[in-house]
Amino acid sequence: MFTSLKLKNFRNFEDKEFFFVKNRNFIIWNNWVWKTNILEAISLIYQKNFLNQEISSLVKNDSKFWFIEITKIDWKKFAISFDKEKNTKKLLVNWKATTKKKFIELLEKIIIFQPMDMNMMYLSPSLRRDFLDDILWSTFEWYEKINKDYKNIVKNRNKLLKNIRDWKATKNELMFWDNNLVQKSIQIYTYRKKINLFFEGNIWVMRELLNFKVNDINYKYITKVDLDDVENSIKKYLSKNIDRDIIIWNTHIWPHIDDFDVLLDWYSLTNFASRWETKSVILWLKILETKFIEINTWKEIIFLIDDLFSELDEIHEKLLINELWNKQIVITTIKANGNNKNDDIIYL
C-alpha cells in the first residue's frame, strides 16, 4: 500500500500532497475532473493510464514539467517525472533512475473500476476484448509485447493485401506474414485460454448473487478459431478466404475480432437480461479479474474506484466493498459512503 501522493504541475495541481490509509479512501468533490486527476496520477505510477491521455497534455498550464511521487508504507518512494521541452520521462525509485521492468517489479498491481465498466456488455465488442486484454497485460509480463507485435503483423499484412489488389505485389509474398500471424496468434490464444478457463470455472457463483433466479449460468468465448487446433484453423481460413481478403484488403480472422458473452439459462446476457442482472454479472467479472491477477502474480492489489457508486445501487455497492474489504481502495465520489472508523475522507 502507499501512504501519500505528491503532485507537482500535474493537471490542475501546482504543488499538492495527499495522505492515504490502508483501507478505504474517499475523495469527495462535485467536479469529477479534480477527483479523477488524482486517480490518473496514481494509475500512471502503476504504469497504467486509464484516461488514455498523452502525457505531455498532463503538464499544468505554463509549466515545463510534471512530477508524481508516492510513498509506500515501507517509506520507499516511487516517482515519475516528465520534461515537456525534452519530451522525456524518468522513472525513479528512492530518487534514483531505474528501468520500467524494475519499477513494475517493485510495485503492487492496480485495478480500476469506473462507470464505463457497467456498459461493457451493452456496447461494442471492443470493450469486452479490451477488458480481457487489460487483465492479461496486468498479469503476464510478456503479453503486452505479444499483443503489440500481433497488431503490427496484421497491419503489415493488410498493407500487403492492398498492394496485391493494386498489382504492386504477388500472393506469394503473403506467406511470410501469414506464418507470423499464425505463430503470434498461437501465443495470444495460449493466454486467452487461461482467462477463459478461469471465468468458465468461476462464473457459477453468480447464481447465488442473482438469488438463484436462473438455473444455469455460463461464460462463452466467441471466436472463428478452433481453439483446440489454432494453427491449422487459421491456416485453412486464410487460404480459403485469400481472394476476399485481397478485395477488401483486410484480415478477417484474428484474436481481436473475438468476443465473449454470459448466458443465463442459455440466453444471451446482452440481449435478454435485465439491467440489474447485467450489472451483477459485470461487477462479478470485475471481481473475478482481481482474483485471477492475485492467483497468477501473488501480488497485492490496490483498487481505484472512479465515481462508480453513481452507477450502483446499495446491494451492488455492498457486494463490491465486501469483496474488497481487506484491500486499499481509493474511491472518488460526490458523497461519503464510508462509516468505518478506518476510512479516510479527502475533501477537495
Per-residue pLDDT of 43-52, as tens digits, reads 999 988 877 7
What percentage of the chain exceeds 90 in pLDDT?
A: 57
Which residues are CB-neighbours of 72 under 8 A, at least 6 positions away?
A: 1, 2, 3, 78
Asked if the model's pLDDT at residue 29 lies above 90, the reply is: no
Asked if the model's pLDDT at residue 254 lies above 60, the reply is: yes
CB 29 within 8 A of CB 93: no
In which residue ranges of the chain is CATH 1.20.1050.90 found?
Answer: 125-272
List phi, psi (to 5°) of 334.
-95, 0
Pairwise CA distance, residues 192 & 230, whole Å: 12
The pLDDT assigned to 72 comes to 94
Pairing of strands 217-222, 259-264: antiparallel
Q: Give the residue among 232, 313, 217 at the shortest CA–CA distance from 268.
A: 217
C-alpha cell at 68: 508524481
Please state the rounded mean pLDDT for residues 179-201: 95
Q: Give the residue among 269, 296, 268 at the shortest CA–CA distance from 280.
A: 269
Domain 2-108+301-347 = CATH 3.40.50.1820? no
Order across the sheet with 88-93: list the strands: 13-19, 2-10, 65-72, 77-83, 88-93, 96-97
pTM value > 0.75:
yes
In which residue ranges of the chain is CATH 3.40.50.300 found?
Answer: 2-108+301-347
Pairing of strands 2-10, 65-72: antiparallel
CATH of range 125-272; options 3.40.50.2020, 1.20.1050.90, 3.30.70.1140, 3.90.550.40: 1.20.1050.90
pLDDT single digits (tens) 263-315: 988 888 877 777 878 888 888 899 999 999 999 999 999 999 988 887 888 88
